[in-house]
Structure 1
Amino acid sequence: MSTAAVHLATVADATEIARIQQVTWRAAYAELLGAAALDALDEAELAQHWREAVEHPATDVYLALEGEFTVGFCVAGQAPGEEVAAADGSLPADADRTGLIATVLVEPRWGRRGHGGRLLAGAAAGLRERGAERGITWVAQADPASLSFFRRAGWQPDGTVRTLDTGERTVKELRLTGGLDLELDG
């Protein structure tokens, strides 16, 4: 069996992160997002976006590896005010101590091997090092696999919902919140 690991991404990893995003979105989110949104994905633009994310001083991008293969990634950082605010725009008392897990994606062919859990645990540890005490993430209500993943980690919906427009469909997302003291197996 190959060795599994998680480490911080470098700018050189941006093209591979973009590839994983495209493959995963096409396999897992085609019905949710719609063909037009997926067709609009440009690999060069995505790679540039990921280079900027990796270089951003307040963001950590983690890679999951199985042997020599990059199989997934996770993005974490301080939660911006608009992400942690209540529906009325008010900020919770712990807003400055709340981290955001912006995404956890594992290429489907590498799924069910613990990579997502290792990515989330690594990101949670990084957020704790940056002073965060809890985390939030947004998950599509129509994505039972991701909802189940975060619930297994102890994260629960906090009652906040938003709707995103893909240009073809609308996607209702639930905000989940949970602790950052994660010790996930696998």
Structure 2
Amino acid sequence: MAHDHEHPHDHSHDHSHDHAHERGPVADASVRVARSSDAPAVGLVQAVVFREAYAAVLAPEVVAAFEPRSFANAWRTTLEGEQSGDGVLLVACAGEQVVGFAAVGASDDADAGPGRAELLVLGVHPDARRQGHGSRLLHAVVDTARARGRDELGAWLLATDEATRGFLTAAGMVADGAHRERVVDAAGGSLREVRLSASIEPETA
């Protein structure tokens, strides 16, 4: 799956364990595989999430370039085209409204074995946080990876992103010691990222 952009993750700290439906104020909450018609909504959520996540670490002109339309066009191209590998885009919905998204695919890390999947991106709109959408997305990512024969999940995040680290750590992921410098502008500026990982082998009775 195409993912040309840096990938901050959800800052919602949602820890619901059901990614299908739940009772209460978000009774119509669900997660499903994205359709090409979802591209504009995903682009909007991604732009909002990225602007928030990178405001303190990137130049204002770089943050301003995170536009819904450009993200939407990239996702539409991916969803309408011949998708390569086992990449899947998932969306979290409140009723019919897309409020979050996540993408999972095969890891291309140099040390990755054939069983490692990667959480490429995960984000929830600020107005929809603390309603379980982030956790539903993460559980759906794990289910999707398992269905494709993966037994490990990795995720790269900004070294300074304590909110995302807390969310993923609460879900069972741990820093595995890997790190990298991601170039983020034409001048060669970079941001340090660290990797979290977890075994996702199904529990046996």
TM range (shorter): 0.7 to 0.9
**Which of 102, 105, 109 in structure 2 is aligned with 1:74?**
102
Between Structure 1 and Structure 2, the one with more helix by share is 1
Deviations 1:103-137 (Å, cap 9, x if unpaired)? Answer: 11001111111111100100110000001000101
- 1:11-160 residue pairs with structure 2 within 5 A? 11-54=36-79, 55=81, 56-57=83-84, 58-80=86-108, 83=109, 85=110, 91-92=111-112, 95-160=113-178
RMSD of aligned Cα (Å): 2.0
Identity %: 28
Query: Which residue does 2:192 correspond to in 1?
Result: 172
Query: Which residue does 1:10 correspond to in 2?
Result: 35
> Are residues 26 and 156 of structure 1, via their aligned partners in 2, closer, same or farther at CA, if it must alter by over 3 Å?
same
Deviation at residue 96 of structure 1 after TM alignment: 0.8
User: In the alignment, residue 137 of structure 2 is paired with which amino acid?
Assistant: L
Query: Which residue does 2:11 correspond to in 1?
Result: none
Q: Across the two proteins, how many residue pairs are aligned to each other?
A: 173
Which stretches in structure 2 are left out of the alignment for 5+ residues?
A: 1-24
Q: Distance in 2 between matches of 1:78 and 1:23?
A: 26
Q: TM-score by structure 2 length?
A: 0.78
User: In the alignment, residue 68 of structure 1 is paired with which amino acid?
Assistant: E
Q: Distance in 1 between matches of 2:64 and 2:95?
A: 31
Which stretches in structure 1 are left out of the alignment for 5+ residues?
A: 86-90
Q: TM-score by structure 1 length?
A: 0.85
Q: Distance in 2 between matches of 1:181 and 1:6?
A: 21
RCO higher in structure (CA 8 A, sep ≥6): 2
Deviation at residue 66 of structure 1 after TM alignment: 1.3
Q: Is the 8 A contact 2:46 2:68 kept in 1?
A: no
